[in-house]
Structure 1
């Protein structure tokens, strides 16, 4: 009897361990939404950069490092802190699976405009833009890559991951249609931002972002004057800022053009609402034909 009980326990222990959700880490909140949509009940997701924090100055806390040491998967996306911390994270957990969310995606430079900045700043703009989630079309690619990864790590729930992916893609297609409808009548295709976080969104919808801040630096007086002149010439009335950055330079431009400053957070967990908000602001602040 005891021997039979022992064999039964040996069979049940692996099954119980396998039934536990995959512990997944991501860098920023929009990724958490993506992993939760595709992973469903079979994943537990933690985000390293918390609301209100900036990925540009972030460092993992000791408690996060401790939990990463027990995690199954980390989905990285090219945030500045990852280059320094990924080797340390792997050292604490050699069995941690890593996947680059950018696989198969053509990356853009962080800022495509040179305006009047100096050559050194222009060189800095060669840095690749990690904000790929701002395009619903690219999120579909990211989701497909993630589904393949989760199914490989947890084949018992592969059918669930596939069904979740299908539902998520349908949601993204609906979001894409809504944004295109919102922007359909916009003739002025440029919009002004403080930090150039919306390049992939702009590329997806035939727009062009004009950044105030470049290479993490406030604009010079000469550049600020040029931006004000450009905004006046093109009828810009709204400057888009994100809460992780100062508003002073954006407010100066807005005041000079008799416009407003609006906050839209590309790091928000409310992914669908954020992109709809941005499209609405661009559509309703653009000059009318």
Structure 2
């Protein structure tokens, strides 16, 4: 009887140990698209929490107390180079010194944020040009080639944090990167005859996307601010000259300026969600919207 009791206890202990080792790795990401990336590579082996909540602005987000509490249990934080991280990553590290912070954007060649300027001196259309405001563009996740780099960084970091499942992470990475290649090929095909075409957006989040497919985004905002009347007038002229009829706005931004332009040109305002969790399908849908909006 004693021997039976001892054997039962050992079985229970072994089962507890197996359950413990099989618990998913708790990790945090900054934005919703990253949740998709990490889950595609980690699957059931990871438990992903998102810092920037739906509808919030990732450039100036402030974490909630409950999120900071949950962060204390995380093993890895996957950063992506978005604005609020400049202030908060050091605080996250202080709150959880054992948590590894991974810069998933490492290895991506950054481009400057776009800022639109119109030739004013002579009213000369040829003097119109697109310049850059000097600030690195953080919206790296909107380009499939960039996401292949992000995915590799995620897989490497998960393998380091959980070497027992390295083979799983590497297998999932290959599958995900293959899907990214398919998406990239599709996007190249639908924009093959649209090289140099323009689309107008309130916030210049689509620079990497535009670069990847030979397009040009025209931003409405000026360094994060609504344009003044004179600049708004220039944008209206620009839209008319280029045959633009749709102004794209992200859900977390004001539509005031976009609506003013749309009204003046007899156009409309449409949503361009750069933070959608369903990353691949969102890019497909958005690409089709951009294409339809191009002359």
TM-score normalised by L of structure 1: 0.90
**Following TM superposition, where does structure 1 have runs of at least 4 consecutive aligned residues deviating by more than 6 angstroms?**
1-14
In structure 2, runs of 5+ residues without a counterpart are 121-129
Deviation, 1:102, is 1.0
Corresponding residue to 1:50 among 42, 49, 53: 53
More strand, by proportion = 2
Bigger-Rg structure (1/2): 2
Over the residues paired in the alignment, what is the CA RMSD in angstroms?
A: 2.5
Deviation, 1:214, is 2.0
| 1:102-160 deviations in Å (ceiling 9; x for gaps) | 1111112222544479xxxx999322221100001100110011111111111111111
Say if 1:196 and 1:214, in contact at 8 Å, map to a contact too: no
Say if 2:194 and 2:215, in contact at 8 Å, map to a contact too: no
In 2, the alpha carbon distance for the partners of 1:259 and 1:92 equals: 49
Secondary structure of the corresponding residue to residue 125 of structure 1: strand
Corresponding residue to 2:198 among 190, 193, 218: 190
Matches within 5 A, 1:67-106: 67-106=70-109
TM-score normalised by L of structure 2: 0.88
> How many pairs are equivalent?
283
Say if 2:27 and 2:49, in contact at 8 Å, map to a contact too: yes
In 2, the alpha carbon distance for the partners of 1:24 and 1:176 equals: 28
Secondary structure of the corresponding residue to residue 126 of structure 1: strand
* 2:152 corresponds to: 144
1:251 is aligned to 2:254: no
In structure 1, runs of 5+ residues without a counterpart are none
Secondary structure of the corresponding residue to residue 258 of structure 2: helix
Say if 1:202 and 1:209, in contact at 8 Å, map to a contact too: yes
| 1:224-267 deviations in Å (ceiling 9; x for gaps) | 11111111111111111111001111111111122111101101
| 1:4-45 deviations in Å (ceiling 9; x for gaps) | 999999887765543221111001000100000011110010
